[in-house]
Structure 1
Amino acid sequence: MKPIELGRMRVHKVHEMESPVPLLSQLPGVTRDDLARVMRWYQAPDEITGDPETSMMTYAVHSWVIEIGGKRVLVDSCDGNHKNRSIEAVHQLNTPYLDNLRAAGFAPEDIDLVLCTHLHFDHIGWNTRLENGRWVPTFPRARYLFGKRDYAYFQANPAGEALHYEAFCDSILPVMDAGQGELVDEDMQVMAEITHGLWLEPAFGHSPGCCTVNAQAGGPPAMFWGDVIHHPIQLIRHDLPFAFDSDPAQASKVRRATLDRAADSDLMCFPAHFRGTAAGHVLRDGDAFKYRWIEA
């Protein structure tokens, strides 16, 4: 996929994998009418059948690399290879993620900054890689920024979060031990110059410290919304609790506010889990929303 240019900012997608799961296991309450409505603008016959019982939700997992202000910023580092995970679909992966990063034009040492929208396992895994039996930072020159709220929450090994705690131990702690990690507030101004900016914005609900990454450099604004919205069906049913939301009611409020903002501004959206080019624009569609992907 060719890079997306927004003024003086360039954004590259780095694919890791796709992972389909039954739709109703993630979003109980989706109806045939909901699917009929989303199928007007989202055609994925291998995924959406029109019947909630047989439809799937496919997670596309990828990172975004932003070139802005002379820096190369990687947003969300996917699942990672060779990691022990308590769900089989991501246990001991061996994907060509680093090859895909290089195909996009970047070696690991080219990355200056790593931002994680939150600290769930599929957004932090490539923070580290296995080297001589030890987990070491994948991006040796990078500064890694971790939100304080999620860090404190997962550091405590909370009940019901074993999967994410596994990832915290092998993908966050080694970065801190190496001296490359920094704990920050979820509204941090990461980069602020006269002609460009990069900042975090709180989006609590999916995780206790979930945030979005926002950027602009002399062109349309961009939002990297992480897991605020996982799948196109949530543009129809933004009210439904999602399976992995830590605070479902708050997450639904944030989803709606994010969609309103995206639809009412010239905002280029960069979802963490949409398929295809993933990037695109949110449009109003009556009492709900629809999505228009950019072309590859």
Structure 2
Amino acid sequence: MKPIELGRMRVHKVHEMDSPVPLLSQLPGTTRADMERLLAWYDQPDEVNGDPETSFMTFSVHSWVIEIDGMTILVDTCDGNHKNRSLEAVHRLDTDYLGNLRRAGFAPEDIDLVMCTHLHFDHVGWNTRLENGKWVPTFANARYLFGRRDYEYFQANPAGEELHYESFLDSILPVMDAGKGELVDENHVAHREIGDGVWLEPAFGHSPGCCTINAQAGGAPALFWGDVVHHPVQLIRHDLPFAFDMDAAMASATRKRTLERAADEDLLCFPAHFRRTSAGRVKRDGDAFRYQWVG
């Protein structure tokens, strides 16, 4: 994917892997009517069809790199390699993520700032890499920003969050131990100021401290929405509970509010898990929304 230029800012996509799972295992309640409406503007025949029972939800797992004012910012760091995970699909991966990062024009040492929209396993994995049997920060010259709410929640090893606690131990704590991590509130301004820089905005529900990352630099505004929306069918059914949502009702309200804002303000959106170029704009479509990809 070619970088997208927005004023003083350039945005690059760095792909790690695609991960298909049965649609209803992640979004129970999806109906045939939902799928028929989706197929009017989303045509991925290897993934979706008119029958939710036989459709898949394919996660594109990727990062975004923002170049802005001489800074290089990495947003969300995917699954990571060689990590022991209780989910077989991501257990001890060996992907070419760092090769893809280099092909996008960046070496790990080029990254100045790492930002995670939340601290689930598939958004923090490349924070660290294995070196001589020890987990060390992958981006040695970077500061890492971690949301305080998620950090404190997963630090306590809560029941039912074993998968994310695994990643907390090998992908968050080693960064903190190395003195590279910083805990911030979910409305933190990371660069310059709101409206001309990079800043966080609370988007609670999917996780306790889930947030979106906003960026603008003299051009169109950009929204990195993380896991507020996982799949295009949620633009039709924002109320669908997602399997990994901590608070489904709160996540649904956040999702609706985010989609409304994206449509009304014509934001260029950078989802964490959409396929194709991933980037696009949300458009109103009667009582729901649709997505218009760019690139």
Would the TM-score normalized by the shorter structure come out above 0.5?
yes
The total of aligned residue pairs comes to: 295
1:96 maps to amino acid: D
Query: How far did residue 292 of structure 1 move?
Result: 0.4
Q: Say whether the 8 Å CA contact 2:193–2:199 is kept in structure 1.
A: no
CA distance in 2, matches of 1:68, 1:247: 34
CA distance in 2, matches of 1:235, 1:279: 15
Structure 1 residue aligned with 2:114: 114
For the residue of structure 2 that corresponds to 1:255, the secondary structure is helix
Q: What is the CA distance between 1:193 and its match in structure 2?
A: 5.3
Distance 1:158 1:194 in 2: 34
The DSSP-based 3-state class of the residue aligned with 2:150 is helix
Q: Contact conserved, 1:214 with 1:221, CA < 8 A, in 2?
A: yes
- What percentage of aligned pairs have identical amino acids? 77
Return the alpha-carbon distance in structure 2 between the equivalents of residues 195 and 264 of structure 1: 16
Q: Deviations over 1:167-200 (max 9, x none)?
A: 0000000000000000000000111159831000
Instruction: Kindly indicate whether the alpha-carbon contact (under 8 Å) linking 2:75 and 2:117 is maintained by their aligned counterparts in 1.
Output: yes
Q: Report if aligned partners of 2:16, 2:97 keep a CA contact under 8 Å in 1.
A: yes
Task: For residues 144-186 of structure 1, give each alpha carbon's deviation from its aligned partner in whole angstroms, at most 9, with x where no partner exists.
Answer: 0000000000000000000000000000000000000000000
**Structure 2: runs of 5+ lacking an equivalent:** none
TM-score (normalizing by structure 1): 0.99
Q: Tell me which stretches of 4 or more aligned residues in structure 1 moved more than 3 Å.
A: none
Pairing 1:132-147 to 2, within 5 Å after superposition: 132-147=132-147
- Does residue 82 of structure 1 match 2:82? yes
* Native 8 Å contact 1:69 1:196 kept in 2: no
Provide TM-score, normalisation by structure 2. 0.99
Distance in 1, matches of 2:49 and 2:253, equals 28
In the other structure, the counterpart of 2:272 is: 272
Q: Which position in structure 1 is the counterpart of 2:186?
A: 186
Q: CA deviation at 1:22?
A: 0.5
Structure 2 partner of 1:103: 103
- Alignment CA distance shift 1:30-1:70 (3 Å): same
Q: How does 1:199-210 map to 2 (within 5 A)?
A: 199-210=199-210
Q: Which residue of 2 aligns with 1:292?
A: 292
Partner Cα distance (1:41, 1:280) in 2: 13
Within a 5 Å distance, the mapping from 1:103-252 to structure 2 comes to 103-192=103-192, 196-252=196-252
Q: 2:195 touches 2:215 (CA, 8 Å); kept in 1?
A: no
Distance 1:193 1:157, change over 3 A: closer
Q: Tell me the SS of whatever aligns to 1:170.
A: helix
**How big is the shift at 1:141?**
0.3
1:183-224: CA deviation from partner (whole Å, max 9, x where unpaired): 000000111159831000000000000000000000000000
2:78 is equivalent to residue 51 of structure 1? no
